[in-house]
Amino acid sequence: MRNDIQEVLFTEQEIQEKVAELGRQITADYAGKNLLILCVLKGAFIFVSDLVKKIDLKLDIDFMAVSSYGNATKSSGVVKIVKDLDAPVEGRDILIVEDIIDSGLTLSYLIDVLERRNAHSVKVVTMFDKPHRRTVGLEADYKGFLIPDAFIVGYGLDYAEKYRNLPFVGVLKPEVYSGHA
């Protein structure tokens, strides 16, 4: 699997340090609130599990799965809820946990849904951010790392459902996309 990686962008240690920093900020900002962590599956599953261990608050965790990408590396622009939350969110302070924000389409759709369900507040933490690729005006409240215009894998992020379990984040070798790996 590591042989398919052309370049490591962020090491496991760099990622863990960033997660701890985000956890400290979130802990301070949500003190005294009834925080609901909303993990957006599948990409954010590793990030959320590391992050919640660094948030020193009594909180709830729920999961939502949306699809917008399929196996391709570009957004289809179509977002659909594949798995919805277990509990109502009316009046809740929600922190959406995302793996990466690219066009922002997925997220703006989600925020819309949560606001229509009368959440008290909706904020976003993303591990990775590609701000120059945005097609909707939207910014995360907490951000890990800025990503250049590259398709990254690892730390939850996949290419055709593979590479999610890499503990670091990297760029695939071009031959992997062309099917010669």
List of residues contacting Mg ion (CB under 5 A): 40, 43, 69, 98-99, 158
| The two structure tokens encoding residue 87 | 């509990």
| The two structure tokens encoding residue 138 | 């939207």
**How many residues in the shown chain lie near ligand 5GP by CB under 6 A?**
19
Q: Which residue is associated with the tokens 């009594």? A: 58
Q: Measured from the CB of residue 75, what is the shortest distance to ligand 5GP in angstroms?
A: 4
**Of the listed 29, 93, 99, 102, which one is catalytic?**
102
Q: What is the DSSP string of 127-162?
A: EEE-GGG-SS----SEEEEE--SS-EEBTTB-BTTB
Q: Of the two residues 56 and 115, which places its CB atom closer to ligand 5GP in the complex?
A: 115
Q: Which residue is associated with the tokens 């690219």? A: 102
Q: Which of 25, 27, 49, 103 binds ligand 5GP (CB under 6 A)?
A: 103
- Give the SS3 label for residue 33: coil
Interface positions with ligand 5GP (CB under 6 A): 43, 68-69, 75, 99-107, 151-153, 157-159
As annotated, the active-site residues are 102
